[in-house]
Amino acid sequence: MNHYPRHVGDITKATFGLSLTEFGAYDRLLDAYYDNEAPLPLDPKERYRMAGALTKSDRAAVDYVVKRYFVEMADGWHQKRADEEIETYRERCSDAVRAINYRWSRVRESNDERSTDVIRPYNEPNTNQNQNQNQNHINQEPKPRRERAAPPALPDWIPPDAWEEWRKHRGKKLTPQAVTRQINKLSKLKALGHDPKTMIDLAIESGWSTFYPHPKINGDHRSVHDIRADTADQMFRRGKYAPSPDNDERDITGTSERLD
């Protein structure tokens, strides 16, 4: 037994008057009793070893406890309360084993009722079982991997070095589909007079993910921030807050007077 009921009130009442050494000997001997599920041995040396009694006073405490709380019989020193707890424990174990066996017997009977009544020779294969195994094998086959589309060929008018820098800039996001779209966009920009290498360099420097057709200023492309600023300025000048060319500037300076 790895566990036994320890009633504090009963132990305190039964061991009242024992010294600390005697109570420790009683505790050790009782633990050994339950652990072995057997009475204490008749040989006093074995009892000393169980209790860890090394000194003369320890052995005297073991002898006193054994004679006071245990009864000598042919097979060893018994303790009534311990024998009753061990017997109860064994009955519970037997009941649990019987319940488990009964439950599994019901499971086997249920499985037997579901099985077919046809008796096949021992060497005849089970067709249904083979079909199920083949079906499971088919279902467990790995799905074919989807082939990734190859990127399109690079046109001659795109410098390979510039495109390689662009590929490193985009990384894994530059899929074959994205390559096709961006080559088409560069082709349209080239038809409008933009240099592909200049477009690629500008996009890398600006951290863009595609190309934009910006007008040239002194041979260079404007940044997107400059374009946004110019667009906002033009929208303001064309809007309702734009100054009218017919209105002259008025002088609104003057002095203030207090009215009583």
Q: Residues 153-189: pLDDT tens digits?
A: 888 888 889 888 988 888 878 888 888 888 888 888 8
Asked if residue 260 is part of any domain, the answer here is: no
pTM value is 0.39
Q: Nearest to residue 203, comparing CAs of 190, 228, 221, 191?
A: 221
- CA-based torsion, 44, 45, 50, 52: positive or negative: positive
How far is the C-alpha of 131 from the C-alpha of 127, rounded, in Å?
A: 6
Asked if residue 233 is part of any domain, the answer here is: yes
36, 53, 85 - which closes a domain: 85
Asked if residue 168 is part of any domain, the answer here is: yes
Residue recorded with tokens 């390979």: 160
Ordered alpha helix ranges (H), the chain = 8-14, 20-36, 44-51, 56-69, 80-114, 127-139, 160-170, 176-191, 196-206, 224-238
Asked if residue 132 is part of any domain, the answer here is: no
35, 53, 85 - which closes a domain: 85
Three-state DSSP at 147 gives coil
**Is 221 or 149 the better-scoring residue by pLDDT?**
149
pLDDT at res. 121? 53
Number of domains observed in the structure of the chain: 2
Q: Which domain holds residue 81?
A: 8-85
Q: Which tens digit of pLDDT belongs to each residue from 116-144?
A: 554 555 455 555 555 555 555 555 666 66
Asked if residue 216 is part of any domain, the answer here is: yes
How far is the C-alpha of 256 from the C-alpha of 260, rounded, in Å?
A: 13
Three-state DSSP at 112 gives helix
33, 53, 85 - which closes a domain: 85
Asked if residue 13 is part of any domain, the answer here is: yes
Tokens of 237: 């000048």
Asked if residue 143 is part of any domain, the answer here is: no
Asked if residue 126 is part of any domain, the answer here is: no
